[in-house]
A = this chain, B = another copy of it.
Amino acid sequence: MSKAKIVLATGAFDLLHYGHYRFLEEAKKSGGKNSKLIVIIARDKTIKKRKGKKPILPEDQRRALVEALKPVDQAILGYEEMNVEAVIRKIKPDIIAVGYDQDNMRRIVEELLRKGKSRVKIVQIGRFGSADLNSSSKIKRRVIEEWR
């Protein structure tokens, strides 16, 4: 019997939608039977720094809602200074699942692999369906169109 695999996924998960859920479901599946899915939630400060805007929902609520999803075993707030290497050292994942729009994360992990600093396997998860409204920014646009 092989050891249950740990899968790591990351994201902001602001305005949770069906695409997020499907991503997490596929991430969990990528680890096979009995895998454990741990999700790192981007901190409010990290998002503000990267996108110039705070998320709509605060980090503690984003974290709790992701952990409430069936495929998720644990959701944890990230470091305020995003540090993928430190996260990998701490969580020791077998697999890192990256979303179709997370090429930046993919590149960071690939760089760590090249430097021999990790042996983690990268799995990129596809986009789901027509992606209609399976995107936080599309949902925001829709809110603005409907309510102005």
Known: A133-B57, A133-B61. A144 touches B148 (CB 8 A): yes
Q: How far is the CA of A134 from the CA of B70 in the complex (A)?
A: 21
Q: Which of A121-148 contact B (CB under 8 A)?
A: 133-134, 139-140, 142-144, 146-148
**Is B69 a contact of A68 with CB atoms below 8 Å?**
yes
Residue A76 at the chain B interface, CB threshold 8 Å: no
**Is A56 a contact of B146 with CB atoms below 8 Å?**
yes
Residue A15 at the chain B interface, CB threshold 8 Å: yes
Which residues does chain B contribute within 8 Å of A87, judged by CB atoms?
none
Interchain CB contact (< 8 A) of A65 among B16, B53, B61: B16
For chain A, give the interface size range.
Answer: 20 to 34
Which residues does chain B contribute within 8 Å of A32, judged by CB atoms?
none
Q: A66 to nearest B CB, angstroms?
A: 10
Q: How far is the CA of A41 from the CA of B127 in the complex (A)?
A: 25
Interchain CB contact (< 8 A) of A18 among B64, B133, B140: B64
**Is B17 a contact of A58 with CB atoms below 8 Å?**
no
